[in-house]
Structure 1
Amino acid sequence: MENFPKKELMKVIQSGFDGSRSAFALAVGRFATKLKDVDLAFAKEIAQFLSVDNVMRGAGDFAPTPVDVDSRMELVETIFPVIVPKRPVFGGTVQDVLDDVLREWQSLDLLIKEGLAPARTLLFCGKPGVGKTLAAHWLAQELKLPLLTLNLATVMSSYLGKTGNNVRAVFDHAMTRPCVLLLDEFDAIAKRRDDDSDVGELKRLVNVLLQALDEWPANALLIAATNHGELLDPAVWRRFDHVVQFEPPSAQLIDDYLLDIPMTSEVRKNLASFLQGESFSTIGQLIHASRKAALLDNTQLVPTLIKNAVRTRMSKGAMSKPNEGTMLLMHLSGKSLREIATAVGKTHPTVSRVIKRYLGE
């Protein structure tokens, strides 16, 4: 008995009393791994109880949603099942991390039996509209788990101590079943504790958050998203398994994103290059608005999309050659090459080349 893994057995007993299904499964997995050196047959017998079905039992089955005591408004929004109509396109590094996370969760059975946990906490950083929220939805869809999104407006309370209580209530609720919990605008609740603009309340809130992150179970995925990583408390960063930096999409990624819209490869390539600098959120909104306009006006989608793209870029002063935008808009409104050339002070062949480059005409 001197080689018997007593310490691991004690952890199994303790986690059993704690009441977390995933923590108990991990403890049993670690115990079985240690036991292999002493009694391989018994270790295998114990490992039979460690299955994905047991660890993930109850996904989609939630207790009543927690509410703010004063406003009675719900603290989280729940979506199940999560459906992302179109597979998102991410840059190489981001996609690699997301694929690794999915691979770990798809191998949960193997990991649990060895006393290991999949990635449980992810921090998404980047400017608005670069795909952080979309990535969270996509992971929830692929994992077939409910997506819980923190309702920041409701969670934040003007009453001393209430915000921390609300955050704790959200975590307690999310920990009851397997799920994906999205903490959007994470910097609002995880701000640096040396911020002079806030005294004791901020420190209490971050302490609540750190404790909740430490207790996060292995059968749920927590995703925090922020546009301002520099505002986060240093202690928060260490609580995440992966920190993922999202960047505005490159022309190649935008080209891939446009693949399901019928157009020639040359037109798509030029449109993607033209839209570089815009977020996927903006591009998605352009496509959605263009589909509706093309349907209502009984026109073709691609010219409508290009017209809307030109208007968007011109409104931001983001075109290196604004004359080209003017040429396209005049052409799409029915002006002749002669009228366009005269208006912009260019030759007919120049106008024709610009139109052909963007519209393939």
Structure 2
Amino acid sequence: MYTEIVKIIEGGLSNDKEKVLNYATVLADNLDSQGENSLAKRIRAVLSKKKGALTSLDSFSTKPVDAESRMDIVEISMPQISSSQIVLSKYVEEEIKGFIECYTRRDNLLRAGLEMSNSLLLYGPPGCGKTTVAQYIATLTGLPLVTARLDGLISSLLGSTAKNIRKIFDYVAKRECILFLDEFDVIAKLRDDKNELGELKRVVNSLIQNIDSLSSDSILIAATNHHELLDPAIWRRFSKVITLEKPQMDEIGKLVKILLDNAPNNIIGNDKKLEQLETALLGFSHSDIKTIVFNALRNVIIKNRESLTSSDILKEVYFHAHHAIDDEKDFIRYLLKNNAPHKEINESLEIPLRKIQAISKASEIKED
């Protein structure tokens, strides 16, 4: 309730009628839910006297566009990511839940005289779940996810890029939502980079100004694979910074279980096979692991086989790393080193048993 009152005051002082009407509507709904029906009714009575249709808080139909290309510069979505679909380290998960808690309990923070933590920077290697985390936060908060489209945002007329950034922030200022800036380094590079034009540096200045003026009722999430390129002043604009790294052994196991949840296989329930796959998949990103497992499943379905084996996944791990199987002996040695049983290799991958046994004997690799 305190948040809505503050936003109504802000809208009144800035002569933003739409903001006043939107947050007054939310305030009335909240008062109703708290049993303050009489006051809620009075607020709605005042609102009903205003001429013109009220723009609902979740109305995102008029998206901003680039003046030159006429392309939309944002995409709107309502993600539905369950906790069972996302794999994070214990400490990253705690930080994300704490960030969400700051948002959902922002009235408490406001009463205590504290600013809420509403800006989050995610960085790490490609494919490690930055976009998924943004979608997960949108799911848990129930907020629409407004994703900036770089193909529309970055204009050939550099002066228009700064204008587009302003358009996006103006758009989210009147809506309770999450603004997601992916590939953030493209518009937030070091301003002392000698290879960049002066106009691009002004784009960064514009970005900083807009972040500073972002409403405390919205959430900003930025993601980058190249945090080393970000301007130092950009870092200071984020109340929370989280690194998303490649998954460790236990996280790989959880991810494999999620991916194979509805697929017949000889892995889930077999701790030894699962541990062997965790070792083989160590060093790959979340996205890589998903690609590897799904490629293995596709091959099983295409060949009309009833069940996926660990050898199927190991084959895709090898192929993903080398992009080819030029040396079959080397490939078989790889399978054996990862403790794939001779019979399983023979039946799943259609490699002659004699060849497997000969290579095993020559390499002095004994099957457990």
Look up the match of 2:303: 297
More divergent stretch after superposition (217-226 vs 295-304): 295-304
Question: In 2, Cα distance between the equivalents of 1:131 and 1:10?
Answer: 35
Counterpart for residue 358 of structure 1: none
| SS of residue matched to 1:83 | coil
Question: Structure 1 residue 346 and structure 2 residue 366: aligned?
Answer: no
Structure 1 residue aligned with 2:334: 325
Q: Name the counterpart of 1:90.
A: 88
Matched length: 312
The offset of 1:294, in angstroms, is 2.6
Counterpart in 1 of 2:48? none
Give the root-mean-square deviation of aligned CA atoms: 3.2
Residue in structure 2 matched with residue 287 of structure 1 by the alignment: 293
Name which of 306, 309, 317 aligns with 1:309: 317
Q: Is the 8 A contact 1:155 1:163 kept in 2?
A: yes
TM-score (norm 2): 0.75
Question: How do 1:111-150 residues align onto structure 2 when only pairs under 5 Å count?
Answer: 111-150=109-148
Q: Distance in 2 between matches of 1:205 and 1:69?
A: 16
Distance 1:314 1:199, change over 3 A: closer
Listed as ranges, the matches of 1:205-284 within 5 Å are 205-260=203-258, 261=260, 262-284=268-290
> Closer, same or farther in 2 for the Cα pair 1:208/1:113, shift >3 Å?
same
Alpha carbons 1:120, 1:221 under 8 Å: kept: yes
- 2: distance between equivalents of 1:316 and 1:99? 42
Contact residue 59 and residue 179 of structure 1 kept, 8 A: no
Query: Structure 1 residues 111, 352: CA separation in 2 closer, same or farther (over 3 Å shift)?
Result: same
CA drift at 1:186: 0.5
Deviation at 1:252, TM superposition (A): 1.5
- What is the CA-CA distance between 1:118 and the residue it aligns to? 3.0
The answer to whether residue 182 in structure 2 is matched with residue 166 in structure 1 is: no
Q: Give the secondary structure class of the aligned counterpart of 1:102.
A: helix
- CA deviation map 1:10-46 (0-9, x unaligned): 999666413466xx99xxxxxxxxxxxxxxxxxxx9x
Mapping of residues 100-115 of structure 1, within 5 Å? 100-115=98-113
Between the aligned partners of 1:275 and 1:169, the Cα distance in structure 2 is 43
Instruction: Note if contact 1:101-1:118 (Cα within 8 Å) is conserved in structure 2.
Output: no
Question: Taking structure 1 as reference, are residues 316 and 185 closer, same or farther at Cα in structure 2, changes over 3 Å only?
Answer: farther
Q: In 2, Cα distance between the equivalents of 1:11 and 1:249?
A: 41
1:256: how far off? 1.8
Deviation at 1:322, TM superposition (A): 5.7
Percentage of identical aligned residues: 33
Unaligned runs of 5+ in 1: 1-8, 26-44, 50-56, 354-361
Separation in 1, partners of 2:278, 2:301: 23
Which ranges in structure 2 are unaligned for 5 or more consecutive residues? 25-35, 41-54, 261-267
Question: Are the aligned partners of 1:341 and 1:347 in contact in 2 as well (CA < 8 Å)?
Answer: no
- Contact 2:103 2:118 (8 Å CA) reproduced: no
Equivalent residue, structure 2, for 1:17:
13
From 152, 164, 179, the equivalent of 1:154 is 152
Deviation at 1:62, TM superposition (A): 1.6
Of residues 195-204 and 287-296 in structure 1, the stretch that sits farther from structure 2 once superposed is 287-296
Contact 1:122 1:244 in 2 (8 A): yes
